[in-house]
Structures are given as C-alpha cells and as structure tokens.
Amino acid sequence: MDDTVPLRRVAGASVVDFDCASADSAAQSLDQWRALREQGRMLWSSRYDGYWLVTRHGDIRDAFRDWELFSSARSDPEVCSLRIPGTAGRRLLIPEELDPPQWLPYRRLISEALTPRRAAAMRPRVQHWVTHYLAEVVESGTIDLVDDLTVAVPAAVVLEWLGFPQEEWRRIAMAWHDVAGYAPGTPEFDAALAELGWLDVRIAEMVSERREHPQDDFVSVLVHQMVDREGIETEQVEALVRLAIAGGVETTTSAAVAALLHMHHHPEVRRQLQERPDLLPAAVEEFLRMYPPARTHARTVTRDDEFAGCPVSRGDRILLSEVSANYDEDAFPDPEAFVIDRAPNNHLTFGAGIHRCPGAHLARIEITEIITQVLATIPDYQVVEKDVVLYPNWGTAGGWTKVPAVFTPS
Ligand code: HEM
C-alpha cells in the first residue's frame, strides 16, 4: 500500500497503482481492466493525486445515473473534470459539463433534435453520403477506411445538419480526428490543435451569421430558441455547437472502423451479415459493446457518502469505465467473444443516466449504413494490416488513425 494515501480514502478498497492514461492499444486496455475487475468492485488508484475506480457494470451504470452524488461540473473553471487527469482548457463542453438545473435547457434542445424519429428522418442523407464517399474510391481498388469513409460520413451528416458549408467538413473532421490520432507533442497534434482554434472562430461566425440570416439548419434553431427566446448567452450556444461536432464526429468514426476491422479479422461474421442482413441491428450493438470509442469518463463526488460498499468523500475523483462495464463477466457471458445476436446487450458505450448520449440513434444509423454499403459495394475488402495505425492512447478514447484496405475495383 502507498503510505501517502490517507487511510480514510482506502477504507474497504484495495489500493492500486493504475495509470488510466497508459493503455496504448485495445488489447492493453482490456488486460488492464480485466485485472482490475479481479481485484474488487471499488479500487483506489494512487496516481494523479488519487482517484476511485469503479470496475463492475452495475456499479458503473448506477454511478452514471447518480448525478447528485457524482457531478460532471468543473471544480476548477480552467480544468475539464470529465477526464483523469483533468484537461486544461477554458471552454466548457455543454451540456456534458453541466449538472441540473443548468444542464436541462441545452439537453432538451439537442435531445429533441435527435429523437429516434428525427434520426430516422436523417437516414436518407446518411445513405446518400455513404454512397457518395464509396463512389469516390470504388474504381480504384484502394481505400483508407478511416480518411475516405468513416471520417467523411459522420462529418458530412453532422456538419450538414448543423449548417456548415461542405467545403469545410473535411477540415473540421480531420482536426478532431488528428487530435485523437496523434500523440501530444507531435507536429500533427500541434497542427490539429491550431485547427481547433480556427474551428472556434468559425463556430462563432456561424452563430452570428444565423442570427442575422436564419436557415433551415440546427445552428439556426439553437440561436433562435436559446439566444432569442430563453436569453441564453451566445457563448453557451457556441459551446453546444462545439460539443455536437466533437461528440458527433470522431466517436462514430471509431465505432464504424472497429466494425469493419472486426469483419476483416472474422470473415465468418462478414459472411453471416452478407447472408443475413436481419442480424445487423443486433450485430451493431455487439460491435458497440466490444469497441466503445469513449473508454472512460470521470466525475467528482459531491458529498461524503458510501458507494459500492466504500466510503467516498466530497471532492474525490471517480473514474467510470465504459470498457470495463462492457466486458464485465457478470453482465455479459463470455464477454471477449463476439456473439452476433447477443441478448440482452445492455452495454454502456453511450453512457447512462441524464448525460446518456443523445446522438446514439443517429450513430447507430450511420454505423448500420456504412456496414451495409461496404458489404454491398466492396464486399471483398482486405485491410492492409501492416499499415494500420492505432490512436497512440486508448485510456480515454480508442480508435484508428489509418486503416488502408484493398478490394476488387468495380
Ligand atoms: C458511436 C458514437 C458515439 C458514442 C460512442 C458516444 C458516446 C457518448 C457518451 C458515453 C456520452 C456520455 C458522456 C458522459 O456521461 O459524460 C455522450 C454524450 C453526448 N454525446 Fe455522444 N456518442 C456518440 C455519438 C454522438 C453523436 C452522433 C452526437 C451528436 C450528433 C453526440 C453528441 C453527444 C452530446 C451532445 C453528449 C452530451 C449529452 C449530455 O451531457 O447530456 N454523440 N456520448
């Protein structure tokens, strides 16, 4: 045990020396969380000034749901506390970094815009963009499943819905992709950070333009409903637009690539889905369970209390792991196996409770359409494994920087 950790914090919990930001691959992340689950429901890590680790599906779900005990809000206005270690930056993620009651008006608007019915109405645009981007490569016989398809499609769908002009989609999506895909300190990462600075300027311009000249897009809805009707500051609307882009673009990319890679490694799954498209909805859930793009989220304890058999204290930090929940042997029999029709499949890839992802319906539609059209248009694609590049870090977000593939041109 680390002597420097105060005893009150470790009562009832084992202390581990776990660096949640250290995993450099999906496999390493899975190994780490499996070992932690074996050690207990609640663990105390001595890293980063100490924090709780919740390892089991039921407890992680309950912690996500208990927003009164586990706050998403910042304690330090300069540090986002949804990650461990916290990430410096002044700009709030709205509504993710707000607790009720401030959270509600923003959440209501974004939820209403992305209900199952509204998301279903976006399916023709999703189909259009998948067809469009596949058509650009189909005669060549080569594709980067990331750059050419799974970055391009979610960017087109979300940025068109928001109202950004088409010539900016790629630039915006690549900025988010490169921030996740390259290690801090590399020239690519620094260039992507600079691009995010440009994006902030563009978001501010868009919000101001739509105020003057509303169009048929979601930024216009936000400006009209929130700034004009509810008197909410323009800056908060800009923050909501920023999170709609950040949440809507890169996570969907990672989930779709994971499914395509899985079918490359498991031709029997590819065959089954070609022969039985009716299995696709359940298969998409299983892809989402096995490859959660957001691997962890953090919260801050709001009062002295008890959780999962351990005393927690106001101000403690706590890490909830989507990946550990999704691989919990007690919640998912044979969790490391891909079970194409797994039921029930209560994975936590989209979180749980009040902050549960409002984009989940749209994300499922995008992943489904990408798989469907890939299987129809380039059915024999083979990933060039030696050229695959993973994100450098799988602690908080998992994904692939490059996944080149070849196929029979048509
Ligand atoms: C596979 C794709 C996606 C995954 C895995 C994902 C995952 C998540 C997770 C885990 C949360 C909860 C975070 C927390 O509890 O702190 C979340 C929240 C959120 N997501 Fe997603 N997301 C995806 C796609 C999308 C899309 C397509 C959009 C929008 C177009 C979106 C917008 C948001 C927003 C605005 C929030 C904050 C909600 C709130 O705080 O009430 N996401 N997402």
**C-alpha torsion sign, points 338, 340, 346, 347:** positive
Which range has the worst mean pLDDT, 53-57, 61-65, 231-235, 345-349?
Answer: 231-235
Strand blocks (E) in 46-134: 51-54, 70-71, 79-80, 87-88
Question: Strands 87-88, 14-16: parallel, antiparallel or unpaired by DSSP?
Answer: unpaired
188, amino acid identity: E
Tell how far the Cα of 29 is from the centroid of ligand 1, in angstroms: 21
pLDDT at 410 over 70: yes
Would you put residue 260 in left (φ > 0), alpha (ψ -120 to 50) or beta?
alpha
Tell how far the Cα of 30 is from the centroid of ligand 1, in angstroms: 22
Nearest 5°: phi and psi at 71? -85, 145
Please tell me the distance from the alpha carbon of residue 259 to that of residue 344, in angstroms, as a whole number. 19
User: Is residue 243 lining ligand 1, measured as CB closer than 6 Å?
Assistant: yes
Per-residue model confidence (pLDDT) at position 89: 81
Mean pLDDT of 56-71: 98
User: Is residue 110 lining ligand 1, measured as CB closer than 6 Å?
Assistant: yes
Confidence tier at 232 by pLDDT (50, 70, 90): confident
Please tell me the distance from the alpha carbon of residue 317 to that of residue 319, in angstroms, as a whole number. 7
Tell how far the Cα of 317 is from the centroid of ligand 1, in angstroms: 21
Please tell me the distance from the alpha carbon of residue 143 to that of residue 141, in angstroms, as a whole number. 7
CB 404 within 8 A of CB 384: yes
Tell how far the Cα of 107 is from the centroid of ligand 1, in angstroms: 11
Which range has the worst mean pLDDT, 82-91, 321-330, 377-386?
Answer: 82-91
Mean pLDDT of 355-376: 98
Mean pLDDT of 396-403: 94
Please tell me the distance from the alpha carbon of residue 110 to that of residue 121, in angstroms, as a whole number. 15
| Residue (of 250, 83, 286) closest to 175 by Cα position | 250
Which range has the worst mean pLDDT, 123-132, 331-340, 362-371, 392-401?
Answer: 392-401
Residue whose Cα lies nearest atom 15 of ligand 1: it is 355
User: Is residue 399 lining ligand 1, measured as CB closer than 6 Å?
Assistant: no
Please tell me the distance from the alpha carbon of residue 98 to that of residue 117, in angstroms, as a whole number. 26
Tell how far the Cα of 243 is from the centroid of ligand 1, in angstroms: 9
pLDDT at 369 over 60: yes
Per-residue model confidence (pLDDT) at position 1: 40
Confidence tier at 73 by pLDDT (50, 70, 90): very high
User: What tens digit of pLDDT does each residue of 144-199 get?
Assistant: 999 999 999 999 999 999 999 999 999 999 998 888 888 888 899 899 889 999 99
Residue written as token pair 């590049």: 389
**Non-local CB neighbours of 9 within 8 Å, separated by 6+ positions:** 44, 50, 313, 316
Mean pLDDT of 9-23: 85
- Look at residue 155 and give its three-state secondary structure: helix
CB 260 within 8 A of CB 252: no
Scanning 114-186, the segments in alpha helix (DSSP H) are 116-121, 123-135, 152-162, 169-181
User: Is residue 297 lining ligand 1, measured as CB closer than 6 Å?
Assistant: yes
Per-residue model confidence (pLDDT) at position 3: 47
